[in-house]
Structure 1
Amino acid sequence: MLVSSLSKVSVIITTYNVEKYILFALDSVLRQSYKNIEIIIVDDCSSDNTKNILENIGDSRIKIYFNENNKGPSYSRNKGIEKATGKYVAILDSDDWWEDSRLEKCIEAIEKSNVNVICDDINFIIDGEVNPYSTLFNSKELKIIKPTSIPINLFINKDLGLLKPILNRDFIIKNNIKYAEEVKYGEDFLFLLEVLRHGEVLLIPKGYYNYREREGSLVRNSKILFEGLINSTTNYLNNESDTIPLEVQVLLKSRLERHRNLLTWVLFKEDIKRFKLLSVLKRIITKPKFSLFLIGFLYSKLKVTGK
Structure 2
Amino acid sequence: MQDLTSTQPLVSVVIATYNMGQYLSLAIDSILQQTWKNLEVIVVDDGSTDSTEEVMAQYRDNTKVIYIKNENQGQPKAKNCGIKNTKGDFIAFCDADDFWEKNKLELQIPQFANPKVGVVYSEVSFIDEHNNRYTKDDHEVRYSGKVTNQMLIENFVPFGTSVIRRECINQNGIFDEEFRMGIDWDLWLRYSLEWEFVYVPQQTYVYRVWSGQMSNNYRGRYDHANRILKKFVSQHGNKLDHKYVRKAWADMYMREAAVYARNEKQFFKPLKKILHGLALDPGKLYGWKVLVKLFLGRC
Give the alignment's TM-score, normalised by structure 2: 0.81
Say whether the 8 Å CA contact 1:4–1:107 is kept in structure 2: no
SS of equivalent to 1:13: strand
- Written as runs of structure 1 = structure 2, the 5 A alignment for 1:101-140 is 101-111=103-113, 115-128=117-130, 129-134=132-137, 138-140=139-141
What is aligned with 2:277? Answer: none
Residue 21 and residue 150 in structure 1: after superposition, are their counterparts in 2 closer, same or farther (change >3 A)?
farther
Q: Name the structure 2 match of 1:271.
A: 264
Is residue 4–residue 110 contact of structure 2 (8 Å, CA) maintained in 1? no
The 8 Å contact of residues 124 and 204 in structure 2, kept in 1 or not, is answered as yes
* Corresponding residue to 1:71 among 65, 70, 73: 73
Deviation at 1:257, TM superposition (A): 3.6
* Equivalent in 182, 196, 200 of residue 178 of structure 2: 182
- Between the aligned partners of 1:236 and 1:94, the Cα distance in structure 2 is 29
Give the alignment of 1:77-92 within 5 angstroms.
Answer: 77-92=79-94
Which residues in structure 2 correspond to 1:38-49 (within 5 Å)? 38-49=40-51
Equivalent of 1:165 in 162, 167, 184: 162
Whether contact under 8 Å (1:121, 1:205) holds in the other structure is yes
Aligned residues of 2:123 and 2:158 also touching (Cα < 8 A)? no
Flag the 1:131–1:242 CA change in 2: closer, same or farther, 3 A. closer
Q: Which has the larger radius of gyration?
A: 1
Q: Which residue of 1 aligns with 2:16?
A: 14
In structure 1, stretches of 5+ residues that fail to align are 273-278, 298-307
2:128, 2:209 within 8 Å by CA — same for their partners in 1? yes
**Unaligned ranges ≥5, structure 2:** 275-290
Q: Percent of aligned pairs with the same residue?
A: 23
The separation in 1 between residues aligned to 2:157 and 2:185, in whole angstroms, is 4
Contact 2:127 2:209 in 1 (8 A): yes
- Could you say what secondary structure the match of 2:240 adopts? helix
SS of 1:40's equivalent? strand
Q: How far apart, in 2, do the equivalents of 1:257 and 1:263 lie? A: 10
> 1:165 corresponds to which letter in structure 2?
S
Contact conserved, 2:119 with 2:165, CA < 8 A, in 1? yes
Give the aligned residue type for 2:39.
I
Amino acid paired to 1:263? E
For residues 170 and 125 of structure 2, the distance between their equivalents in structure 1, rounded to whole angstroms, comes to 31
Match of 1:60 in 2: 63
Q: Could you say if the C-alpha distance between residues 291 and 201 of structure 1 is closer, same or farther in structure 2, counting changes exceeding 3 Å?
A: closer
The alpha-carbon deviation at position 231 of structure 1 amounts to 3.3
Q: Distance in 1 between matches of 2:241 and 2:72?
A: 33
- 1:260 matched to which residue of 2? 253
2:209 to 210, 213, 222: 213
Shift of 1:126: 3.5
Cα root mean square deviation, aligned:
2.7
Question: 2 CA distance for matches of 1:150 and 1:126?
Answer: 34
C-alpha distance after superposition, 1:37-62 (max 9, x if no partner) = 11111111112222332244221110
Alignment partner of 2:47: what SS? coil
- For 2:45 and 2:293, the matched residues in 1 are separated by 44
Structure-2 separation of matches of 1:205 and 1:291: 36
Q: CA deviation at 1:4?
A: 4.0
Q: CA deviation at 1:122?
A: 2.0
1:271 and 1:182 map into 2 onto residues whose CA distance is 28
Q: CA deviation at 1:176?
A: 3.9
Given that residues 118 and 195 in structure 2 are in contact (C-alpha distance below 8 angstroms), is that contact kept between their aligned partners in structure 1? Answer: yes
Query: Are residues 165 and 245 of structure 1, via their aligned partners in 2, closer, same or farther at CA, if it must alter by over 3 Å?
Result: farther
1:134/1:4 CA distance change after superposition, 3 Å: farther
SS at match of 1:133: coil
Equivalent-residue separation in structure 2 for 1:116 and 1:284 (angstroms): 38
Query: Quick check: 2:116–2:195 contact (8 Å CA) kept in 1?
Result: no
Q: Which amino acid aligns with 1:139?
A: E
**155-164 or 38-47, larger mean C-alpha shift:** 155-164
Q: Secondary structure at the residue paired with 1:184?
A: coil
Task: Tell me how far apart the structure 2 counterparts of residues 201 and 190 of structure 1 sit (CA, whole Å).
Answer: 15
1:245 maps onto 2:246 in alignment? no
Question: CA, structure 1 residues 221+125, in 2 after alignment: closer, same or farther (shift >3 Å)?
Answer: farther
1:231 aligns with 2:232: no
